[in-house]
Amino acid sequence: MLIRTGYDICYETDIATPMMAMLSVHPSRDEDLRTPHRIVATPDVPMHDYRDAFGNICTRLTVPAGGLTLRCDFTVEDSGLPDPIAADAVQHRVEDLPDDVIVYLLGSRYCETDRLSDAAWSLFGHIPGGWERAQAIVSFTHHHIEFGYHHARPTKTAWDAYQEKQGVCRDFAHLAITLCRCMNIPARYCTGYLGDIGIDPIPGPMDFSAWFDVYLGGAWYTFDARHNKPRIGRILMARGRDATDTALTTTFGPARLVGFDVHTAEVPHPG
């Protein structure tokens, strides 16, 4: 299937303010692009990209005094298949994990493994390791947190979400990631596009989404604690330890978000 997606994001600033943006499709999806992917700034300002330590594309620019709008619109090809299920995927012993995977067992800014370790082992220690344990963590998180945009705040951590039982998609991801890491299942945070393809239309404005990957059976598999079921049409933008590594935009000075529109839809076949 073909999916058309993109965004219009507008910031206001009083003075020229440097910005780093992670608004590009992840390089792992480059071969699926069917139209050019290009970020357009209005007014036009110099921009350049670099690849960070996690393989994400980061764009550097300076928002001029007054502000600017960032736009992108492109089409990507997708398999049309839901997230794969590998019920027999095993959990590796920590000593057998690849070196580049170990970092996804460690605590991070929003994922306080030290604060949730006891709770995790109490809740999931009796469940066999591997897919069954990972799915149990996802199901617990899905039912433990009440979703609502009004519950969002940039400082909320996995521990906060566990205590408050409220949050948005990134809070579902942070809590599930932390519980997985506490149980020695490597888990990494992901952000990108996820429209309502293959499900009943979702009321309300489109947004970017957060999910996570776990390392089982020698491969990374996608899980989504907010929705708790395989979905169609994920388009990855960035991944890392938590939302710190994948922030859509980071401004190095005061800036006000005054416009935010994201679109994602399947392109209908002609005729």
Q: Is residue 208 part of a domain?
A: yes
Quick check: is 41 in a domain? yes
Distance of CA 39 to the CA centre of its chain: 19
In tens, the pLDDT along 230-260 reads 999 999 999 999 999 999 999 999 999 999 9
Q: What is the pLDDT of residues 195-223, one digit of tens each?
A: 999 888 887 778 999 999 999 999 999 99
pTM over 0.85: yes
Same domain, 238 and 173: yes
The secondary structure of the chain as a DSSP string is: -EEEEEEEEEEE-SS-EEEEE--SPPGGGGGGBSS----EEES----EEEE-TTS-EEEEEEEPTT-EEEEEEEEEE---PBPP--TTPPPPPGGGS-GGGGGGGS-BTTB-HHHHHHHHHHHHTTSPTTHHHHHHHHHHHHHHSEE-GGG--TT--HHHHHHH-EE-HHHHHHHHHHHHHHTT--EEEEEEE---TTSPPPPS----EEEEEEEETTEEEEE-TTT-S--B--EEEEEESSGGGG-SEEESS--EEEEEEEEEEEPPPP-
Domain encompassing residue 27: 2-80+248-266
Kindly state whether residue 153 falls inside one of the protein's structural domains. Answer: yes
Across the chain, mean pLDDT equals 96
Residues 6 or more apart from 185 whose CB is under 8 A from it? Answer: 91, 129, 133, 134, 137, 214, 215, 216
Structural domain includes residue 88: no
Instruction: Give a yes or no: residue 115 inside a domain.
Output: yes
Mean pLDDT of 113-136: 98
Q: Indicate if 67 and 136 belong to the same structural domain.
A: no
pLDDT at 19 (0 to 100): 98
Percent of the chain with pLDDT over 90: 94
Kindly report the CATH number assigned to the domain that includes residue 196. Answer: 3.10.620.30
The answer to the question of residue 85 being in a domain is no
Residues 184 and 70 in one domain: no
- Which tens digits make up the pLDDT trace of 40-84? 999 999 999 999 999 999 999 999 999 999 999 999 999 999 999
What is the pLDDT, as a whole number, of residue 270?
Answer: 66
Same domain, 71 and 122: no
- Domain-embedded: residue 176: yes
Nearest CA to 142 out of 201, 85, 211, 204 is that of: 211
Percent of the chain with pLDDT over 70: 99
Indicate if 154 and 208 belong to the same structural domain: yes
pLDDT at 9: 98
Q: Which residues contact 56 (CB under 8 A, 6 or more apart)?
A: 22, 26, 237, 238, 239, 240, 245, 246
pLDDT at 268: 86
* Counted domains in the chain: 2
Domain CATH for 45: 2.60.40.2250
Q: How confident is the model at residue 39 (pLDDT cuts 50, 70, 90)?
A: very high
